[in-house]
């Protein structure tokens, strides 16, 4: 999904489910590997996260999608994950192969994991960032 909106942030923002263990693991992974500090984060449960979801046509009360907002563009699901990983640079650019997997395969798989993420991975309190990481969260 790609959309245009003049109110979009000018730095890449990842909107994630703040109570999902898998999603929090993804954020911790990115905090470790995004050495340039390119990405910012907003939990879906926060005012910023809810506003970004709503702006890009996603239901903030039923957050089943991962959202990447980069300037005037937004991506969800597998497209967002692939863009984030390739944006890390280096060997992570190889993640671009995700786009080669047919949507008929990758989209249903993503949606099944998203719908069942609490049952499969559990829930937890939001990730508590260190003082150094705090500036990267909205």
Q: Where are the domains of the chain?
A: 13-134
Q: Kind of pairing, strands 73-76 and 67-70?
A: antiparallel
H runs (alpha helix) in the chain: 21-33, 47-55, 77-87, 103-115, 117-121, 131-134
* Segment-wise mean pLDDT, segments of 10 residues, the chain, 138 residues: 49 93 92 94 93 91 84 91 93 87 90 91 76 82
Q: Kind of pairing, strands 13-16 and 40-43?
A: parallel
What confidence score (pLDDT) does residue 127 get? 64
Query: What is the Cα–Cα distance from 50 to 61, expressed in whole angstroms?
Result: 8
């Amino acid at each position: 999904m790609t959309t245009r909106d003049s109110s979009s942030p000018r730095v890449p923002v990842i909107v994630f489910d703040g109570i999902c263990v898998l999603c929090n693991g993804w954020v911790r992974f990115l905090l470790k590997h995004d050495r340039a500090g390119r990405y910012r984060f907003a939990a879906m449960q926060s005012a910023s996260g809810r506003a970004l979801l709503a702006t890009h046509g996603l239901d903030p009360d039923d957050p089943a999608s991962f959202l990447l907002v980069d300037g005037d563009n937004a991506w969800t699901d597998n497209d967002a994950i692939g863009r984030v990983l390739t944006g890390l640079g280096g060997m992570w650019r190889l993640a671009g192969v995700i786009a080669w997997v047919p949507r008929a395969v990758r989209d249903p798989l993503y949606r099944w994991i998203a719908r069942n993420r609490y049952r499969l991975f559990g829930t937890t309190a939001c990730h508590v960032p260190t003082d150094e990481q705090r500036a990267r969260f909205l």
